[in-house]
Amino acid sequence: MRKVVAVKFRTSAKHYYFDPGDLVLRSGDAVVVETSRGVELGWIRGEGREVAEEDFGKNIKLVKRKATESDLRKDRDGQMKKKDAIRTCKEQIAASGIAMKLIDAEYTFDGNKLIFYFTSEKRVDFRDLVKELAGQFRMRIELRQIGVRDEARMLGGLSTCGRELCCKGWLMDFEPVSIKMAKVQNLSLNPGKISGCCGRLMCCLKYENDVYVELKKGLPNPGEFVDTPGGKAKVMDVSIFKGIVRVKYVEAERTKDGPEQLSSDMFEYDKTEIRRKGKRVSGTGHKKSAASASSESFEREIADALKDDIIEVIQEDA
């Protein structure tokens, strides 16, 4: 077994694991570690734990040291200097006319490199901008394009639920989210209600999706015809959590002159009491009703509005 500690860096919500060696570390302690980007300052999250050697292998690195007052002062200086760096970079972007939005800047802990994070709707040629910035700051310059989800993670904010954005507070990795998840949960397909601050589908649509999928097993769809203890009926509504199906009995079958005649009263059955007959029937004959066509058209519009909802995940191996 081997003891490891989780370390979080300022620009990432993901935790990376390091060997504390002989150091006694507690949650919240600042530490200096070596990563693929060089020496960095991070913060301990949680308590150390014992793990099997094969879970991490020999690639796990040692924590170099607990951060000293000098290390913390260097980090504070970098945070102060980045404000001037952002202002300068914005001026250069405006002068060059490049279509990009600057989000944040970061000085590496060793002070050898300055990283600018930006978003853009397309790929941009920023080679001349890098040369200008390198001439002004006299150090290595890196411009890194990120997605709108990463922008929301960096800037932070409050979601419609009133709590801090999940991606800023605790969500380590972005997972694929689709419009189908909103439909499974019977949510409004209004983009303004199911989109987050980033303009993409809210990550929380994923959290309960598996529960809804499991509970909906065996439940018919509204508009579907089923066999009940009282006879053939048409499904009018379903209660996913209670497993209840609300139906109206078919009193007269559909004809070429009109739709089927349904009972005026609605009846409730447990999903185990009904037997599904087939797919949903809409309108008369084989033609879809105007309401059904309108609904499908609206769903297509929603899909088109969210077709760019591609999860852009930037993962850096520490």
Q: Residue 149: count other Cβ atoms within 10 Å of its Cβ.
A: 25
Which residue, of 146, 166, 198, is where some domain finishes?
Answer: 146
Which residues are CB-contacts of 204 (< 8 A; sequence separation ≥ 6)? 159, 161, 166
Q: CA of 33: how far to CAs of 29, 75, 109, 212, in Å? A: 12, 14, 10, 43
Q: What's the pLDDT at 312?
A: 37
Q: Is residue 163 part of a domain?
A: no
Q: What are phi and psi of 125, to 5 degrees?
A: -95, 105
Please give the helix or strand (H or E) that residue 57 lies within, else none.
none
What is the spatial distance between Cα 74 and Cα 68, in angstroms, rounded to a whole number?
10
pLDDT for residue 89? 95
Task: Return the closest-CA partner of residue 239 out of 218, 262, 264, 260.
Answer: 218
Least Cα distance to 268 among 246, 291, 252 occurs for: 246
Per-10-residue mean pLDDT of the chain, 318 residues long, equals 87 84 91 89 88 72 93 92 94 93 92 93 90 93 93 90 90 90 90 91 94 91 92 93 93 88 93 78 41 48 48 36
From 88, 114, 146, the end of a domain falls on 146
Residue 80 lies in a domain: yes
Q: Do residue 53 and residue 105 come from a single domain?
A: no
Q: Which pLDDT does position 300 carry in this prediction?
A: 56
106 inside domain: yes
- Contacts with 60 (C-beta within 8 Å, 6 or more apart), sequence order: 2, 4, 17, 18, 19
Give domain status of residue 157, yes or no.
Answer: no
Between helices 127-137 and 69-96, what is the axis angle to 10°?
Answer: 130
Tokens of 139: 């150090």
- Name the one residue in this structure whose structure tokens are 């040629």: 125
263: tokens are 């009972």
Distance CA 155, CA 104 (A): 8
- Same domain membership, residue 63 and residue 9: yes
Same domain, 57 and 38: yes
* Sign (positive or negative) of CA dihedral 157, 159, 164, 170: negative
Residue 17 within any structural domain of the chain: yes
Residue recorded with tokens 């170099």: 64
Indicate which CATH number applies to the domain containing 116.
3.30.300
Task: Out of 146, 161, 179, pick the residue that ends a domain.
Answer: 146
How far is C-alpha 101 from the chain's CA centre?
21
**What integer pLDDT is reported at residue 311 of this predicted model?**
36
Strand partners, 40: 33
Q: For 150, how many CA atoms within 13 A lie in the half-sphere containing its CB?
A: 22
Q: Strand, helix or coil at 217?
A: coil
The confidence score (pLDDT) of residue 296 equals: 52
Shared domain for 41 and 58, answered yes or no, is yes
Residues 47 and 82 grouped into a single domain:
no
Distance CA 3, CA 17 (A): 10
Residues 35 and 77 both lie in one domain:
no
Q: Are residues 59 and 81 in the same domain?
A: no
Q: Is residue 188 included in any domain, yes or no? A: no
Please tell me the predicted confidence (pLDDT) of residue 250: 93
- 60 & 46 share domain: yes
pLDDT confidence of residue 152: 92
10 Å Cβ neighbour count for 25?
18
Answer whether residue 185 is part of any domain.
no
Q: Are 63 and 78 within one domain?
A: no
**Looking at the domain assignment, is residue 23 inside a domain?**
yes
Domain containing 96 equals: 73-146
Domains of the chain: total: 3
In a shared domain, residues 81 and 44 = no
| SS3 category, 221 | coil
For residue 260, the domain's CATH number is 2.30.30
Provide the pLDDT for residue 308.
Answer: 46
Assess whether 22 and 63 both reside in one domain.
yes
240 exposed, middle or buried (CB, 10 Å; 0-12, 13-18, 19+)?
A: middle
Q: Are residues 138 and 87 in the same domain?
A: yes
